[in-house]
Each structure stands twice: as structure tokens, then as C-alpha cells.
């Protein structure tokens, strides 16, 4: 009973919140609307039903349709999911859509990113996708940004009512998640609901996919559920170099370290489409795997890792994008209760869907506001701290930069991304925390590509 | 057999493999109904790389179609939906032959295809066509006919194990190295490779096994010396599908795989039938 009432309470909170988040109706141009254009949408918005939001009031004066037309949406990624999302959102009545994508079109995109044609290869995805949608859907205005998400600051992201992600990178998702958490404002520890921008996140791999609704600061965020993601292709360098565990580690060792050193084909870079190159990496990876008793290195896996192939089929993207666009529609109109909060889809074998409520993690490093602790003995080396940050399942940082304040001065303990600083700070990795002058309770500031904000850790010495 | 365009299909090839792609590349598919739903299915099937897709629709583009059918626009009003969707659909994938059929659906037409997808048909039509046809998919009802051959039942890599020794006997006994589970089960079929001495094993088979690894009579074979690997040989199986008209009456058929919604599949089943009576 307790559990039910807790869940019920939580559900009510989400309902209240999404009700408040309904977008203010503004002015919009409906001159290009023909008679009956929004009939398909009005069927949802102008009559009550058993599944509508408890506070939903149907309106026959097109008021709700105007909500849609004035709601500002940001789509991150114009790839497999992005193309589908843009089409679905535009057909659902959203008109103010921005899309961000840093990539240009590749031939391998054409078999699912259906807004692109062979003549578009080499052009920015965001621009081609926007042109296509704007040309097909009268009155829709998609604004393209051929940029990285990191190129924009808070003021850019703050202008949107809802953000939808169709990304293939966990790092980018985490960064976006961190950005939306940084936009939250708290008054006396109470979250201001108007500072929440809902994040709808879709992901696919082969026949599997997931869609989730994140209300930053309210429901489980990306980092709360980091353990759910498969191991990333970008493995920590120290793992590849000194303690491989997975077949992928061996392949990466051959690709990153052995290829440039041994130059098997002279001064040419590794070409994933050249079978001789793949064979060479495969052979080397097998040798290394044998050395560390690792099984599972195959030619196909080698090719997959080298070419960074993320398996993908058009229909899975279509299913997940449809689920995400539906959630955008539900939140924008407040007509229905949003997905709570994580949908899993798999049609490898039959057709399977499962929805569960991902739980917030009490000490989530991204959204909890709980200070993060690091427990190490004073004799531990900085290298161990670095490995913890990259390998701990709930942190999974990529190239953490660690700074602290010593005797009133900022001191960089280790920073990997700038070569000269890396060389200068590398000796610190072999020093113990005590030798570095760190004390019990010391604050360490850690910056990483997985978050736009610096994460503060408190160093607790163990004995 | 035509070559697979590996650049175009690389991501999908990684999921399906060459064999499945070749099979798909031989299929002719009919998609009936070119409204919002039909065009989505056509788009995804064309992108996936079948041999041909025919889109069928007798209806003409109306204003309301423009709200949900992404490939129709104002200039198509009053014209056949299938014909008007054709240029956009065929530009999706030059490897797939796409054509439009603006005429009615009938038995003869259906028989030309390996797969038929109905999106806009009455239940009576669905039943009528389902009875004439081996493969009809609609509302996620799949009827692949009475003898649908499944070549690989689980998509897993075939199990294999290193051989420690083989006793020359009837039935023969194979002892595998390492204590890890070999993954074979009673009735599994296996083949041998790299066996030295008893080389007959490498060339014959597949062998049916009983766990504790008995194989057939090998008492006449040469003496086993060393080496070799035993590998599972996947056995095709045949699945029989019920036609739609029978399946509609069958409660048991509604196998659900979402245990969170125990009763819903039955409700849905009835709901869809009720919708057709409206
Ligand atoms: Zn969190």
C-alpha cells in the first residue's frame, strides 16, 4: 500500500508539473492552413477520453492546436532518429523547430536517413534535413545549426520548451543532460518547475531501442541510469594499454597503439574499408587477446570497432522516433500523461516492449546536488583516482581533468586533453595523494567531456 | 545473385549479415493503401533493400491526406495516391524497383508477391486475401504459411568446443576439454574439424548427439590421435502458421510477452475486431 501511495504521489507530481509546463498560446501564422488540416490532431485535443490527463480540458476553439504551433522544440541530431523526428513533429503541428547536428552526409546514412539523397552526400545533415521538411510541410520552419552541441551556451538552450535527442553517443547525451540540469533553479532547496525543460531521449542499436522522458531534477536523468548503457567504444587509454578485459580492448590496442608504431603499410592511415588493413588489425588483436586470455576477437568485430559501426536499420529508428514524437506531443499539449519513464523496444525475436520507471539515483553526480565523495588512502596514487573516475560504472568519465586549490592557488593535478599540460602533469600520476600535498576533506574539481559543468568531489582519506 | 552495395547498406549489413540481406533482396513486396501508415511502411521496406515494392491504392489524394502522408502535397490533390507517392518513394533507394498499382486489389495481383502488407482494408477483405495468400502482415498479424522454414532458430553463434579425446565405439564417445559448459543439448547436430587420426569425422556428418556426447557408430573409423573442434550444425525447422480467419477465433494464439499487461492482449484482440464492425 505504501508503495502504491508513493507511486501515486509521484505520478500526481509529474501530472502537476507537466500541466504547468504547457506552453503559453501566442501568435502564429495560420494562413497556410487549409480547412481540416489539423483534424487529425484535433481529435486528440477536442474531446475527453479515458486516457487523457486528469486535468485535461478539451477545447474546441483551436486553442490547443495553437499551443502546438507556438511550442519551440529543439531536435538534437539529424541522423536516423532525427530525420524521423523532424517529419513526425512537423506533421503533428510543431512549427518552430531547431535542429543541431555537426555531421555531414555519408553514403552509409542513405539507407535509413530518408531525407537525404545521393546528391546530398558531403552536405551538412542539419541543413539538408531542414530544407526537405520546410519544402514539404507548408508553414513549418525548421532552423538548422551545423554545429556541435557544445558550441551553444545556456541562453541558446533556455529558449526551448522541449528538447528531443536522437543521438548515437552517450557522451553527447550526458553533456545535454548536464546542460539541462544546469538550467534548473532552486529556491530554498525547492525546484522551480518553470526552469525545467523536458528532455525526450531516443536511442537505437540494430533491432533494439529505447525511448525515455526525463524531467531534469524530477525524474531519473541520463547519469542516474548510466549502468544501463553498454560499454562505450571509447575505452579509457589506461585500460587499452595495460589491462585489457574485452575483445574490443585488444582491437583498440592494435588500432591506436600498434598501427602508428609499426606502420605495416607505410605512412598511410588505417582504412576501415581496406580488407588487408582490417586483417592486420585482426591478427594483432588476436595475438594480444591470446596473451591476456581474452576470447571473442573476430574479423567482423574488428571491422565493427575500427569503422565505429553502430548497427542500424530504418524500421527501428522509425518506431523509436514515433514514440519520442508522441511524448513531445503529450507534454506540449498536456492532454495525456507522459511516459513514466523508460520504454524498451526489441524486435529481434517477436515484438517486445516494456515500460518501467527508472529511479533517480540518490547521489547521482549530475542531478542530485549531493556532494560526491572519493574514498582513498593517502598512499593511493593519483593514477588510481583517475582510473576510478573513468571506470566506476556510475561515473564513466572519458578524459577527466583534475584541479584543486593548494595554499590558495589553483593547481592542475592532471589534464589529458592539452598535450603540453599532459606532459607537464603526467609525473603527478605516479605520486601519492599525500606527496601531492592533498589533505583529508580536500575538494577536487573534475572537468570532463561528459558534462558542461565541473563536478566537485570531496576527498576522504581512508586508513 | 546481385552484389550487395556495402557502402549503402553497411549499418544494416552489420545487423542482418549477408545471407539475410540476399534473401531480402529476392523478395517482391506489395503494400496496399498509401495513406499515412502505408507510406511509412513502404518507406522502411524500400530503405531496407527488398527486390521490389509495389504500392497499391485506388483512392485519390484529398486534403486530409496531406496532414499525415509525408510524400503527398497540394499539387497531388485529386490524383491517385499510389501514383503520386511513387517519385518520392523510388528516390529512396535506387537498388529497389518501386512501382505503383492504382487498380483494385485482387487474388491474381496478390499471388505475384512473397509478402503482402494490407493497411487500409476491411476485415472481410483481410480474411478473403489471407485465405488466398501465404504471407500477409497486417495489424502485426503474421501468416507465413503452413511451411515456413526457419534456417536459424536463435541467431546465436553455433556452439563449439575443443576435443580432448574420442573413444572408438558404437556409439562413439567424444570428451571435450575444459570444464566450461559446451552448450550442446540432446538431439543437437554437430560437425567435426581438425581431428587428427580419426579423420573420417572431419568429412562426414552432421552427427546427432546425446549429451555425454555420444555420436553414431564410428567403431570402424581410424584411431583418434589428437586435436579437433566440434561445432554445432544449425538445423532448419518448419513452423506452421494459422491463416487469419482461424487465428481470429483462437484465444490461445495470443501469446503475450509483456508480463506487465497480462490481460491487455485479449482486450486488444477483441477491440480491433469490434472496430471493423463499426
Ligand atoms: Zn541523475
Same domain, B209 and B116: no
Report pLDDT digits (tens) over B187-224. Answer: 778 888 778 888 888 887 777 777 765 666 777 777 88
B137 CA to chain A: closest CA distance, Å? 13
With respect to residue B82, please indicate whether it lies within any of the assigned structural domains.
yes
Contact predicate B180/B151, CB 8 Å: no
**What was the ipTM of the complex prediction?**
0.80
Nearest to B43 among A110, A114, A118 (CB): A114
Query: How far away, in angstroms, is A12 Cα from ligand 1 center?
Result: 21
The whole-angstrom separation of Cα B243 and Cα B144 is: 9
3-state secondary structure A292-326: CCCCCCCHHHHHHHHCCCCCECHHHHHHHHHHHHH
Domain boundary among B120, B150, B180: B150
Mean pLDDT over all residues of chain A? 88
- pLDDT of A21: 53
pLDDT by residue (tens digit) across A430-450? 999 999 999 999 999 999 999
Record: fold of A237-307:
Arc Repressor Mutant, subunit A (1.10.10)
Is the pLDDT at B134 greater than 60? The verdict is no
Domain annotation covers residue B273: no
B183 C-beta neighbours (distance < 10 Å), count: 13
Q: Is the pLDDT of residue A201 over 90?
A: yes
Contacts of A108 in chain B (CB under 8 A): 7-8, 10-11
Q: Among B10, B12, B73, whose Cβ lies nearest the Cβ of A136?
A: B73
Q: How many CA atoms lie within 13 A of A266 on its CB side?
A: 0
Flag if B48 and A111 touch (Cβ within 8 Å). Answer: yes
Query: B186 and B88 share a domain?
Result: no
pLDDT for residue A24: 45
The whole-number pLDDT of residue B239 equals 66
The answer on B222 and B120 residing in a single domain is no
Asked whether residue B253 is assigned to any structural domain, the reply reads no
Higher pLDDT, A416 or B178: A416
Angle at B64 between CA B62 and CA B66, to 5 degrees: 85
pLDDT for residue A454 is more than 60? yes
Instruction: Give per-residue pLDDT as tens, B68-84.
Output: 999 999 999 999 999 99
Cα–Cα–Cα angle for B129, B64, A96, rounded to 5 degrees:
125
**What is the C-alpha separation between A133 and A92, in angstroms, rounded?**
13
How far, in Å, is the centroid of ligand 1 from the Cα of A360? 6
Percentage, residues of chain B above pLDDT 90: 28
Question: Do B26 and B132 lie in a common domain?
Answer: yes
Option in B15, B67, B74 nearest A40 (CB): B67
Q: Identify which of B228, B232, B218, B230 has the alpha carbon closest to the alpha carbon of residue B167.
A: B218
Helices marked H in A353-452 — which ranges?
382-391, 419-425
Fold agreement (A38-206+313-339, A237-307): no
Q: Is the pLDDT of residue A200 over 80?
A: yes
The H or E element that residue A92 is part of is helix A80-92
> Beta partners for A406?
A409
Same domain? For B98 and B120 the reply is yes
Point out the residue among B44, B92, B260 whose CB comes nearest to the CB of A318.
B44
Which of B81, B116, B150 represents a domain boundary (last residue)? Answer: B150
Tell me what pLDDT residue B213 has.
57
Torsion of CA A271, A277, A278, A281, to 10 degrees: -110
Domain residue limits, chain A: 38-206+313-339, 237-307, 372-461
Q: Are B172 and B119 part of one and the same domain?
A: no
CATH number at residue B223: 2.40.30.180
User: How far, in Å, is the centroid of ligand 1 from the Cα of A395?
Assistant: 11
| Separation between Cα atoms, residue B52 and residue A116, nearest integer Å | 21
d(CA B193, CA A384): 46
Give residue-wise pLDDT tens across range B173-192: 777 765 556 667 777 788 88
Cβ within 8 Å, pair A312-B258: no
Domain shared by B45 and B94, yes or no: yes
Percent of chain A whose predicted confidence (pLDDT) is above 70: 90
| Cβ within 8 Å, pair B14-A304 | yes
- Match domain A38-206+313-339 to its CATH number in 3.40.50.720, 2.40.10.340, 3.30.460.10, 3.40.50.10190: 3.40.50.720
Instruction: Looking at the structure, tell me whether residues B80 and B195 fall in a common domain.
Output: no
Instruction: Say whether A311 and B257 touch across the interface (CB within 8 A).
Output: no
Q: Closest Cα of chain A to B88: distance in Å?
A: 10
B206: in domain: yes
Q: CB pairs below 8 Å between A and B: how many?
A: 91
The CATH code of the domain that includes B96 is 3.40.50.720
| Average pLDDT of span A85-95 | 95
Per CB distance under 8 Å, which residues of A are interface residues toward B?
34-41, 87, 91, 107-108, 110-112, 114, 117-118, 136, 138, 206-207, 300, 304, 307, 309-315, 318, 348-355
Q: Report the pLDDT value the prediction gives residue A48, as an integer from 0 to 100.
A: 79
Residues of A in contact with B37 (CB under 8 A): none
Cβ neighbour number for residue B84 with a 10 Å cutoff: 24
Q: Do A110 and B93 touch (CB under 8 A)?
A: yes
Per-residue pLDDT, averaged over A275-303, amounts to 91
Query: What's the CA gap between B212 and A68, in Å, rounded?
Result: 66
- Compute, in angstroms, the gap from residue A223 CA to the centroid of ligand 1: 5
Least confident of A231-235, A298-302, B103-107, B265-269: A231-235
Same domain, B184 and B128: no
Query: Do B24 and B115 sit in the same domain of this protein?
Result: yes
B51 within a domain of the structure (yes/no)? yes
**CA A246 to ligand 1 center in whole angstroms:** 28
Q: What is the mean pLDDT of residues B76-103?
A: 96
* Mean pLDDT value of segment A102-118: 93
Distance (Å, whole) CA A415 – CA A60: 59
- pLDDT at residue B129, rounded to an integer: 73
Distance A179 CA to ligand 1 centre (A): 12
Per-residue confidence band for B244, with pLDDT thresholds at 50, 70 and 90:
low
b/e burial code for range A374-390 (CB count within 10 A of at least 16 → b): bebebebbbeebbbbbb
Does residue B248 fall inside a structural domain?
A: no
> Dihedral, CA atoms, A165, A170, A172, A175, nearest 10 degrees?
100
The residue in chain B having the minimum alpha-carbon distance to the alpha carbon of residue A121 is B8
A163-170 average pLDDT score:
93
**Helix H or strand E segment including A360:** none
Average pLDDT over residues A414-440: 92
Tell me phi and psi for residue A21, to 5 degrees: -80, -5
| Mean pLDDT of the region A47-65 | 76
What value does the mean pLDDT take over residues B78-92?
97
Distance of CA A276 to the CA centre of its chain: 35
Q: Would B244 be classed as within a structural domain?
A: no
Interval A115-154: pLDDT, tens: 999 999 999 999 999 999 999 998 899 999 999 999 999 9
Contact flag B68-A91 (C-beta cutoff 8 Å): yes
What spacing in Å lies between the alpha carbon of A212 and ligand 1's midpoint?
14
Query: pLDDT value at position A23?
Result: 46
| Chain A residues lying within 8 Å of B16, measured CB to CB | 313
Is the pLDDT confidence value at A383 over 80? yes
pLDDT at A18: 60
Distance of CA A159 to the CA centre of its chain: 19
Per-chain residues with Cβ under 5 A from ion ligand 1: A 221, 223-224, 364, 366-367
Q: Which domain holds residue B143?
A: 10-150
The pLDDT-based confidence of B248 (bands split at 50, 70, 90) is: low
Which of A219-223, A349-353, A406-410 has the largest mean confidence? A219-223
Phi, psi torsion values for A439, nearest 5 degrees? -125, 170
B162 within 8 A of B177, measured Cβ to Cβ: yes
The stretch B115-125 carries a mean pLDDT of 81
Nearest by CB to A108, which of B10, B40, B73? B10
DSSP for B44-98, written as a single string: HHHHHT-SEEEEE---B--TTHHHH-TT--GGGTTSBHHHHHHHHHHTT-TTSEE
Report the pLDDT averaged over residues A250-267. 90
Q: What domain count does chain B have?
A: 2
- Please report the pLDDT score of residue A25 as a whole number: 42
Decide if B78 is inside a domain.
yes
- Burial (CB < 10 A; 0-12, 13-18, 19+), residue A2, is exposed
The active-site residue out of A165, A238, A367, A430 is: A238
Q: Is the pLDDT of residue B62 over 70?
A: yes
Q: Give strand pairing partners of A312.
A: A206
Q: Residue B136 above 60 pLDDT? A: no
User: Mean pLDDT over residues B127-132, rounded?
Assistant: 70
A238 assigned to active site: yes
Strands B141-143 and B52-56 turn out to be unpaired
Residue A115: its chain B contacts at CB < 8 A?
none
Chain B residue with minimum CA distance to A35 = B63
| Phi (first) and psi of residue A338, to 5 degrees | -65, 160
**pLDDT at position A167, please?**
93
- The helix or strand, by DSSP H or E, that contains position A458, with its residue range, turns out to be strand A451-461
* CA–CA separation, B203 and B226 (whole Å): 16
Is pLDDT at B262 greater than 60 in this prediction?
A: no
Our CA dihedral for B120, B73, A137, A48, rounded to 10 degrees, sits at: -40
Judgement on whether residues B46 and B140 belong to the same structural domain of the protein: yes
Question: What percent of chain A is modeled with pLDDT above 90?
Answer: 59
My answer on whether B46 and B93 are in the same domain is yes
Q: In CATH, which of 1.10.760.10, 3.40.50.1100, 3.10.290.20, 3.40.50.300 is domain A372-461?
A: 3.10.290.20
Nearest CA in chain B to A116: B92
Name the closest residue on chain B to residue A119, using Cα atoms: B91
Residue A258 or B256, more confident = A258
Amino acid at each position: 500500500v505504501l508503495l502504491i501511495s508513493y507511486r501515486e504521489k509521484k505520478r500526481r507530481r509529474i501530472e502537476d508539473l507537466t500541466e504547468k509546463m504547457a506552453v503559453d498560446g501566442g501568435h502564429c501564422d495560420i494562413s497556410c492552413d487549409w480547412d481540416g488540416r489539423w483534424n487529425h490532431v484535433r481529435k486528440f485535443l477536442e474531446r475527453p477520453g479515458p486516457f487523457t490527463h486528469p486535468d485535461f480540458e478539451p477545447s474546441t476553439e483551436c486553442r490547443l492546436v495553437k499551443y502546438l504551433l507556438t511550442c519551440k522544440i529543439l531536435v538534437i541530431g539529424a541522423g536516423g532518429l532525427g530525420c524521423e523526428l523532424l517529419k513526425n513533429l512537423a506533421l503533428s503541428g510543431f512549427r518552430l523547430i531547431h535542429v543541431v547536428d555537426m555531421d555531414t552526409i555519408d553514403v552509409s546514412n542513405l539507407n535509413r536517413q530518408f531525407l537525404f539523397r545521393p546528391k546530398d552526400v558531403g552536405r551538412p545533415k542539419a541543413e539538408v534535413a531542414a530544407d526537405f521538411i520546410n519544402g514539404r510541410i507548408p508553414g513549418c520552419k525548421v532552423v538548422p545549426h551545423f554545429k556541435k552541441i557544445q558550441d551553444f551556451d545556456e541562453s541558446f538552450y533556455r529558449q526551448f520548451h522541449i528538447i528531443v535527442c536522437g543521438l548515437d553517443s552517450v557522451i553527447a547525451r550526458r553533456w545535454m543532460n548536464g546542460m539541462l540540469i544546469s538550467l534548473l533553479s532552486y529556491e530554498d532547496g525547492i525546484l522551480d518547475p518553470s526552469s525545467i525543460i523536458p528532455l525526450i531521449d531516443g536511442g537505437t542499436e540494430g533491432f533494439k531501442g529505447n525511448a525515455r522522458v526525463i524531467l531534469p531534477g524530477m525524474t531519473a536523468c541520463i547519469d542516474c541510469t548510466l549502468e544501463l548503457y553498454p560499454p562505450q567504444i571509447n575505452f579509457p587509454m589506461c585500460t587499452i594499454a595495460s589491462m585489457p578485459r574485452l575483445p574490443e580492448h585488444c582491437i583498440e590496442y592494435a588500432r591506436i597503439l600498434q598501427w602508428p608504431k609499426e606502420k605495416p603499410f607505410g605512412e598511410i592511415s588505417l582504412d576501415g574499408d581496406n580488407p588487408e588493413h582490417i586483417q592486420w588489425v585482426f591478427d594483432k588483436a588476436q595475438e594480444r587477446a591470446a596473451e591476456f586470455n581474452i576470447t571473442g576477437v573476430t574479423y567482423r568485430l574488428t571491422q565493427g570497432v575500427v569503422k565505429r559501426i553502430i548497427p542500424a536499420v530504418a524500421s527501428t529508428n522509425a518506431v523509436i522516433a514515433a514514440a519520442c514524437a508522441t511524448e513531445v506531443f503529450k507534454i506540449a499539449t498536456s492532454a495525456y500523461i507522459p511516459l513514466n519513464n523508460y520504454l524498451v523496444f526489441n524486435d529481434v525475436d517477436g515484438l517486445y516492449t516494456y515500460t518501467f520507471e527508472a529511479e533517480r539515483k540518490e547521489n547521482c553526480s549530475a542531478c542530485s546536488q549531493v556532494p560526491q565523495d572519493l574514498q582513498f588512502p593517502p598512499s593511493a596514487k593519483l593514477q588510481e583516482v583517475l582510473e576510478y573516475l573513468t571506470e566506476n560504472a556510475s561515473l564513466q568519465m572519458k578524459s577527466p581533468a583534475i584541479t584543486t586549490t593548494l595554499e590558495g592557488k589553483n593547481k592542475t593535478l592532471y589534464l589529458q586533453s592539452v598535450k603540453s599540460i599532459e606532459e607537464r602533469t603526467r609525473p603527478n600520476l605516479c605520486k601519492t595523494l599525500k606527496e601531492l600535498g592533498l589533505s583529508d576533506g580536500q575538494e577536487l574539481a573534475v572537468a570532463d567531456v561528459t558534462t558542461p559543468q565541473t563536478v566537485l568531489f570531496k576527498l576522504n582519506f581512508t586508513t | 545473385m546481385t552484389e550487395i552495395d556495402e557502402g549503402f547498406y553497411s549499418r544494416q549489413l552489420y545487423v542482418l549479415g549477408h545471407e539475410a540481406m540476399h534473401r531480402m533482396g529476392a523478395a517482391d513486396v506489395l503494400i496496399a493503401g498509401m495513406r499515412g501508415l502505408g507510406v511509412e511502411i513502404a518507406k522502411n521496406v524500400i530503405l531496407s533493400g527488398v527486390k521490389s515494392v509495389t504500392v497499391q491504392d485506388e483512392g485519390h489524394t484529398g486534403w486530409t491526406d496531406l496532414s499525415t502522408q509525408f510524400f503527398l502535397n497540394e499539387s497531388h490533390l485529386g490524383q491517385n495516391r499510389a501514383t503520386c507517392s511513387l517519385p518520392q518513394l523510388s528516390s529512396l533507394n535506387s537498388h529497389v524497383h518501386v512501382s505503383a498499382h492504382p487498380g483494385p486489389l485482387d487474388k491474381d495481383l496478390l499471388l505475384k508477391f512473397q509478402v503482402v502488407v494490407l493497411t487500409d482494408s476491411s476485415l472481410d477483405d483481410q480474411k478473403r486475401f489471407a485465405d488466398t495468400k501465404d504471407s500477409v502482415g497486417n495489424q502485426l498479424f503474421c501468416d507465413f504459411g503452413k511451411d515456413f522454414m526457419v534456417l536459424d532458430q536463435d541467431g546465436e553463434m553455433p556452439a563449439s568446443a575443443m576435443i580432448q579425446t574420442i573413444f572408438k565405439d558404437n556409439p562413439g564417445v567424444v570428451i571435450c576439454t575444459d570444464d566450461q559448459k559446451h552448450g550442446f543439448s540432446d538431439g543437437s547436430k554437430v560437425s567435426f574439424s581438425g581431428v587428427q587420426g580419426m579423420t573420417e569425422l572431419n568429412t562426414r556428418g552432421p552427427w546427432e548427439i546425446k549429451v555425454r556426447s555420444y555420436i553414431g557408430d564410428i567403431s570402424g573409423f581410424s584411431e583418434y590421435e589428437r586435436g579437433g573442434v566440434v561445432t554445432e550444425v544449425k538445423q532448419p525447422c518448419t513452423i506452421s502458421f494459422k491463416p487469419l480467419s482461424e487465428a481470429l477465433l483462437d484465444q490461445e494464439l495470443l501469446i503475450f510477452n509483456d508480463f506487465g499487461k497480462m490481460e491487455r492482449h485479449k482486450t486488444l484482440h477483441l477491440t480491433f475486431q469490434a472496430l471493423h464492425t463499426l
